[in-house]
Structure 1
Amino acid sequence: MKNILFMLSEWGYWGEELVGPLEACDAAGYKVTFITPNGKYPTALSVSCAPGYIDPPLGRSVTSEEMGAKTMKVIDSGRLENPKSLADWFPLRAYPSSPTYLRDMEAYYETIDKIVAEELVNYDALVIVGGSGALVDLANNTRLHELILGFVKLNKPIAAECYGVSCLAFARDFREKKSLIWGKHVTGHPIDYDYLDGTGFEGPHAIDGSNKGFGDGYINFGAPFYPLEFILRDAVGPDGAFIGNVGHATSVIVDYPFITSRSTASSMECGRLLVEVLEKGLTRYGF
């Protein structure tokens, strides 16, 4: 039985972007393990559970009755309770200002290498679920970058959706500092789809009194603070390509080991292609 690791933000994921690959993995008989940055319960963005919600850039509903119900079914199932904690699993890289920096980094890489060799080998693929929350606690999460690097080292597939693709742009060997997707073909949330206002975040940090959020459970950040398309275009370099497929209903690109998915409507296709990668050895699709 294949074991798939699903990474979710604690600041709000998009329901369909969980449901699409999750349904595909369930249908294939895979075991699924959920993980969040600090082991907190992941919160679905409210609009991704609200059928009829009109997406401003697209001018149409992006949450169907069926998908809203499926998102609520996953939530009500209790499957997302007690997710694995990335912070408890992977160490935090030392600051260069540490008086013991060299020894700290030796210990750091020794720990990372051991996790990859002894624990990460038990997983067959990584899925990074999209939604605006990924911009907050996934994109520049160095622990997640090491997790992604581990899957690449083991030559195992990584599927990333929507704003979750930002993690691939920023993940890089700290010694070389070159993006892992340099020279690759990827898709992701294009500038055409970005909100001018209303990019929202929800989750435990916003309501638990920890002062890590703003206290009302919903935070409007206006426009996205990362223009993902521009970041991806730079990250792939001159020999790679960002393929937005704007005007097409869906956009999923497979350039092994990466499976990248543009946005909500591509989630079911992303799940289907992940299974094809795992079962049929698919390495190239969509370009």
Structure 2
Amino acid sequence: MTSVLFVVSEEGYWGEECVDPLETLSEEDVDVTVATPTGEKPVLDERSVDPDSVGEETAERVRDVHENDQRLQNPTQIARTSADMYDAVVFPGGHGTVWDINQDRHARRLLRNVVEGDDGKALVICHAVGLLAFARDSDGEFLVDDRDVTGFPNEWEADIVDENDMMPDGRKLPYYVEDEVKAAGGNWDAELDADTSVRMDGDLLTGRGPESSHDAAVTLLEALGVQTPA
């Protein structure tokens, strides 16, 4: 059976970016395990279940999975996981990742090992793409250097934070994902004219944001050979 690890934020994950891939992979009988930095339950960004922003159907679906899926209710610690235990590792996004997942050395290790390994795949979505700005390969070079990637763009970020980069919840955003990934050598293209954006460069897959979550999950299934490309 194909096995996939989801690495989810305790500082606020974006619902659709976790729930859609989680359910899409589960529907194909993929065995999913969830990990968080401390092993505590992941925290849902309440903005991602605001019916006025995401629609009632998405809000209800995400809330239900967040509260009732036992994999999310009983995560393991990232430090206790190993890339060779899984066929793929998924890093859902959400602003919370900039404070925990992207700064976690065990998350960086997972990403490095799965991308450098022979068979594994990594899917990184939205703000979690910022992890690529801090992860280095076995030679000490940035893992993202000269790789084609997408992720949460500066243009969208500027519509969320104020002129001092303060979030609506009062937290200070420490960096913009696009800026940091570009500085680390990534070939950035968020394809702002497209409805969705998913890029694949070798064993590294990236997705732009919530609306790209489903396409990203399907692309991962195809890359793993679970689904045949349409």
TM-based fold match above 0.5: yes
Does residue 229 of structure 1 match 2:220? no
3-state SS of paired residue (1:133): helix
Partners in 2 of 1:20 and 1:34 — Cα distance?
Answer: 14
Alignment of 1:13-24 (within 5 A): 13-24=13-24
Does residue 76 of structure 1 match 2:67? yes
Aligned to 2:117: 154
CA deviations 1:79-137 (Å, max 9, x no partner) are 211200124x27xxxxxxxxxxxxxxxxxxxxxxxxx5xxx323110000100010001
Alignment of 1:82-93 (within 5 A): 82-87=74-79, 89=80
Shift of 1:191: 0.3
Partners in 2 of 1:187 and 1:8 — Cα distance?
Answer: 19
3-state SS of paired residue (1:179): coil
Contact 2:7–2:78 (CA under 8 A) maintained in structure 1: no
Larger gyration radius, structure 1 or structure 2 = 1
Shift of 1:144: 1.0
Structure 1 consecutive aligned stretches of length 4 or more whose deviation exceeds 6 Å: none
Which of the numbers 186, 196, 205 marks the counterpart of 2:161?
Answer: 196
Does residue 129 of structure 1 match 2:75? no
3-state SS of paired residue (2:60): helix
3-state SS of paired residue (1:225): coil
CA deviations 1:180-220 (Å, max 9, x no partner) are 111110001110010223636xxxxxxxxxxxxxxxxxx42
Contact 2:6–2:32 (CA under 8 A) maintained in structure 1: yes
Does residue 165 of structure 1 match 2:129? yes
Shift of 1:169: 2.3
Partners in 2 of 1:31 and 1:199 — Cα distance?
Answer: 35
Partners in 1 of 2:8 and 2:167 — Cα distance?
Answer: 18
Partners in 2 of 1:250 and 1:230 — Cα distance?
Answer: 20
Shift of 1:241: 1.5
Shift of 1:51: 1.1
3-state SS of paired residue (1:151): helix
Shift of 1:50: 1.3
Partners in 1 of 2:227 and 2:69 — Cα distance?
Answer: 33
Partners in 1 of 2:9 and 2:103 — Cα distance?
Answer: 12
Unaligned runs of 5+ in 2: none
Alignment of 1:1-287 (within 5 A): 1-53=1-53, 63-79=54-70, 80-87=72-79, 89=80, 116=82, 120-155=83-118, 156-173=120-137, 176-194=139-157, 195-197=160-162, 199=167, 219-222=169-172, 224-236=173-185, 241-279=187-225
Letter in 2 for 1:231: E
Question: Structure 1 vs Structure 2: percent identity of aligned residues?
Answer: 31
Partners in 2 of 1:68 and 1:196 — Cα distance?
Answer: 23
Contact 1:126–1:157 (CA under 8 A) maintained in structure 2: yes
Partners in 2 of 1:76 and 1:38 — Cα distance?
Answer: 19
Letter in 1 for 2:116: K
